[in-house]
Amino acid sequence: MAGPPLLELDRLSTHYIAAQGARVVRAVDGVSLRVEAGETLGIVGESGSGKSTLALTLLRVLPPAARIVGGRMLLDGEDLVQKTEPEMQDIRGKKIAMILQDPMASLNPLFTIGNQVAEPIRVHEHETRRTAWQRARALLNAVRIPSPEARVKQYPHEMSGGMRQRIVGAIGISCEPRLLIADEPTTSLDLTIQAQYLNLLRELQRQHGLALIFITHNLGIVAKMCDQLAVMYAGRVVESGPVSRIFNAPVHPYTKALLNAIPRMDDPDRRLNAIEGQPPNLAALPPGCSFAPRCALAMPRCREAAPPEFTPEPGRTAHCWLAEPAAAAGRLIVSGAV
Ligand code: ATP
Ligand code: MG
C-alpha cells in the first residue's frame, strides 16, 4: 500500500477514571487501526465494547471522567493526542466530523436549520453570512431536503426524523472533512429511510472522497457499506481486516459468534442466536483473553495470558491464541521457534 494512511491508531487507550477509588474502566484498551483516504471502516461489537468511547477519543470530546492514557492517533502523520485544544477546535468539523446516533442531540432546538448548517462554514472557513447561507442551502439540496429555500428558515422540531438525520449529515460534511465518523447513524430511522440515508452517505463519500468510520450493530450494514472491519470486544480490537475476508473466513471465535448471531434467510425459525454469557466488566477484566470465559474453544493459556496481535493473512489482524501460526498449523511448538 502506497504512502501513510489517513488515520493510524497505535495502541490507543482511553479509560474512565471514576472518583474516590472506584476502579478504572478500560473502555478503549490498546487499539491499533488504520483508515486509508476514501475508505470505509466498520466498527462492530456488543453494547459497552468501547465503540463510542473510541469515536469520542478521535475528536477529543470525551466526558470529564475519561482520559487518553496511552497511544497515538496520527491524522496525516500528526498525532492528535499531542494537539492543544485550540488546534483540536480547528480539526473538528474541518478535518474530522462526527454524526451522532440521535439527531436531536446534535441539533439546537432554538436555532433555525439554516443557522446550524451555516455556522461551521462561517467559523471554520471564515465565509460571510451570505455565502455561508448559500452553501447551507446547497448542502440541504445535496442531502435531498425538499425545498431547501423554505427549510433553512425552520426549526428542528418542524422536520421529520429522517430529515433531521440528513441535516446532521449535511452539517457533518459542511466543511468537507477528510474523515467522517458515524456512530450508529441509522438506529432511529425506519428501514426505507435508513436505506436512503446509507445510499446518500455512500454518494457523498464518492463525491468528496471522504473516509468513513461507521459504528453499527448491524452486520448487514457493514456488508453493504464497508471495505474494512474492526471487531471490538471489551475495549480491544479482537479482529480486523477486509470485510469480505472476515465474513468468509472469520478467525476470532467472537467474530464467528457475531456472524452466527445473524439469522439465516434459509432457516425456517430465523431466530437470532444470542452469544452465550455476559460481556465482561471493563473495571475488572479477567486475566488473559477477555473473551475466554465465553469461548467454547478456550485453552488453559487463554485464561493466563492475553493474546498478542497475530497476522492470519496479509492485511488482517487477530488477537487470539488460535491465530498463532503454530496453532493455526495444528502444531505445538515452543514459542519463538519456527
Ligand atoms: P453501545 O453499543 O451500547 O453504544 P459502546 O460500544 O459504544 O456501546 P461505550 O459507550 O464506548 O460502548 O462504553 C464503553 C464502556 O465505558 C462501558 O463499560 C461504559 O459503561 C463505560 N462508560 C461510558 N461512558 C462512561 C462515563 N461517562 N463514565 C464511566 N464509564 C463510562
Ligand atoms: Mg455507543
Atom number, ligand 1, closest to the C-alpha of residue 53 = 11
Q: Identify whether residues 179 and 319 lie together within a single domain.
A: no
> What's the number of CA atoms in the CB half-sphere (13 Å) around residue 178?
10
Atom number, ligand 1, closest to the C-alpha of residue 52 = 7
- Terminal Cα-to-Cα distance of the chain (whole angstroms): 28
Mark which of 230, 265, 299 sits at the end of a domain. 230
Residue 13 domain-assigned (yes or no): no
Residues in the chain: 338
Q: Identify whether residues 44 and 190 lie together within a single domain.
A: yes
> What's the number of CA atoms in the CB half-sphere (13 Å) around residue 212?
28
Q: What is this structure's pTM?
A: 0.89
- The model's pLDDT over 11-25, given as tens digits with 9 standing for 90+, comes to 999 999 976 667 899
pLDDT at 337 over 50: no
Percent of the chain with pLDDT over 90: 60
Label residue 331 by pLDDT band (50, 70, 90). Answer: very low
CA-nearest residue for atom 16, ligand 1, is 27
The predicted pLDDT at position 5 comes to 93
Residue 29 domain-assigned (yes or no): no
The predicted pLDDT at position 221 comes to 87
CA-nearest residue for atom 14, ligand 1, is 50
The predicted pLDDT at position 273 comes to 60
Q: Identify whether residues 317 and 219 lie together within a single domain.
A: no
pLDDT at 188 over 90: no
Q: Identify whether residues 128 and 185 lie together within a single domain.
A: yes
Residue 17 domain-assigned (yes or no): no
The answer to whether 295 and 313 are in contact (CB under 8 A) is: no
The predicted pLDDT at position 39 comes to 95
Mark which of 230, 264, 288 sits at the end of a domain. 230
The predicted pLDDT at position 267 comes to 57
> What's the number of CA atoms in the CB half-sphere (13 Å) around residue 171?
26
Report which listed range, 45-49, 80-84, 142-146, is most confident.
80-84
For the chain, the domain total comes to 2
Query: Which amino acid appears at position 5 of this protein?
Result: P
CA-nearest residue for atom 23, ligand 1, is 53
CB-count exposure of residue 201 (10 Å: 0-12, 13-18, 19+): buried
At 196, which CATH number?
3.40.50.300
Mark which of 230, 259, 289 sits at the end of a domain. 230
Pocket perturbation via mutation, ligand 1, pick of 53, 231, 281, 285 by most ligand atoms within 8 A of CB: 53
The ligand that comes nearest to the alpha carbon of residue 235 is: 1
Please tell me the distance from the alpha carbon of residue 189 to that of residue 284, in angstroms, as a whole number.
Answer: 36
Q: Identify whether residues 93 and 199 lie together within a single domain.
A: yes
CB atoms within 10 A of CB 63: 8
CA-nearest residue for atom 25, ligand 1, is 16
User: Could you tell me which residue, 290 or 338, shows the higher pLDDT?
Assistant: 290
Label residue 268 by pLDDT band (50, 70, 90). Answer: low
pLDDT at 79 over 70: yes
Q: Identify whether residues 150 and 297 lie together within a single domain.
A: no
State the distance from the centre of ligand 2 to the C-alpha of 149, rounded, in angstroms: 35
The ligand that comes nearest to the alpha carbon of residue 49 is: 1
- Residue 108 domain boundaries: 36-63+83-230
95-129 burial, b at 16+ Cβ within 10 Å, e below that, comes to bbbbbbbbbeebbeeeebbbbbbbbbbbebeeeee
pLDDT at 71 over 70: yes
The predicted pLDDT at position 144 comes to 84
Q: Identify whether residues 304 and 214 lie together within a single domain.
A: no
Q: Identify whether residues 179 and 323 lie together within a single domain.
A: no
Residue 20 domain-assigned (yes or no): no
The predicted pLDDT at position 249 comes to 95
Residue 187 domain-assigned (yes or no): yes
Q: Identify whether residues 194 and 50 lie together within a single domain.
A: yes
Residue 21 domain-assigned (yes or no): no
Residues forming a β-bridge with 230:
43, 240
Residues whose beta carbon lies within 6 Å of some atom of ligand 1: 16, 25, 27, 45, 47-53, 63, 65, 282
Residue 71 domain-assigned (yes or no): no
Query: Which amino acid appears at position 242 of this protein?
Result: P
Q: Identify whether residues 257 and 153 lie together within a single domain.
A: no
Label residue 269 by pLDDT band (50, 70, 90). Answer: low
State the distance from the centre of ligand 2 to the C-alpha of 283, rounded, in angstroms: 17
For the ranges 136-145, 212-221, 326-335, the lowest mean pLDDT is seen at 326-335
Residue 26 domain-assigned (yes or no): no
- The model's pLDDT over 148-185, given as tens digits with 9 standing for 90+, comes to 999 999 999 999 888 888 898 889 888 889 999 998 87
Q: Identify whether residues 202 and 280 lie together within a single domain.
A: no
CA-nearest residue for atom 10, ligand 1, is 52
Label residue 333 by pLDDT band (50, 70, 90). Answer: very low
In this structure, are strands 96-99 and 78-79 parallel, antiparallel, or unpaired? Answer: unpaired
